Structure 1
Amino acid sequence: MIAGWFTGDGEGFRLLGTRCSACSTVFFPREDTHCRNPHCPGGRLVEAPLSRRGHVWSYTDSRYRPPSPYVTDRELPWVPYTLIAVELPAERLVVLGQAAPGVTVADLTVGMEVEVVPGVLHEDTETTWTTWQWRPTGVGA
């Protein structure tokens, strides 16, 4: 994925956004040039680790192979995956990401608590592309 969008591992894994010092608006993906809030006079943008837990806002499964720049081995059969839109109430934003391996749409409900975890988007003999994924916490809504 893109450098600077997440950091750490295990319990220390976090998505990294930015927060405007003038209006406190949080951005993800991060914004490093200017505040995107049209009502803000503009302020310094500072790195802001996002909440590790949020609630399922929406979800679906991906039944088709996405076009480039999505990395996939065209020689292998396509395996559908689950996408989850997660609301982070403290930041007042929704972050989209894949579900952790083994999590299907049958395992999810709107409002369910999930947490961000590190995951593998794709790997080959030379490179492993890491990303974030969402996993149910078992706590409920």
Structure 2
Amino acid sequence: MPTKPRVPAIEGWFTMDPQPHLLGLRDPGSGSYFFPKDVAVSAVPGHASAQLEEVPLSRTGRLWSYTTNHYQPPDPYVSPDPFVPYTVAAVELAAERMVVLGQLAPGVDPETLELGMEMELVLDTLFEDD
């Protein structure tokens, strides 16, 4: 049976490398970083898209906050059936000092989380279609 190709849930937000990175923008003049990229281009005054450069963001950071969602989010989020609670972590990236949100990887017990602990970006399957 052929393997299914892996495709990003949101095109352009991260690399599909074995060591994945989020993709952000950096203003070389100010040193400011932006993620996701479309926010910087459309909503940040004083940062013209022509001067912004695409950069891979840090793969590691420190846990800033987290919460476990015990409710099924509305569409377009694709939830397993039956719904299973999941944890969202806010991580301050090491080099950029910006906070990004992401779903905790399957198998990581939220009870083991401690604020300030080291975290690493991993890619996992969010859902599969037929």
TM-score (norm 2): 0.82
Residue 34 (structure 2) aligns with: 27
1:69: Cα distance to partner? 1.4
Give the whole-Å Cα distance in 1 for the aligned partners of 2:67 and 2:47: 38
1:60: Cα distance to partner? 1.1
Work out whether residues 27 and 47 of structure 2, in 8 Å CA contact, stay in contact via their aligned partners in 1: no
Cα 1:47/1:106, change in 2 over 3 Å = same
Unpaired stretches in structure 1, ≥5 consecutive residues: 126-141
Provide Cα deviations, 1:4-33, integer angstroms capped at 9, x if missing partner: 1000332x2111001113322101111363
1:34: Cα distance to partner? 5.4
User: Does residue 113 of the first structure (1) align with residue 115 of the second (2)?
Assistant: no
Residue 108 (structure 2) aligns with: 103
Richer in helix (by share) = 2
Aligned pairs, number: 120
Work out whether residues 56 and 114 of structure 1, in 8 Å CA contact, stay in contact via their aligned partners in 2: yes
Unpaired stretches in structure 2, ≥5 consecutive residues: 1-8
| Displacement over 3 Å in runs of 4+ | 40-43
Paired residues for 1:4-15 under 5 Å: 4-10=12-18, 12-15=19-22
1:35: Cα distance to partner? 7.1
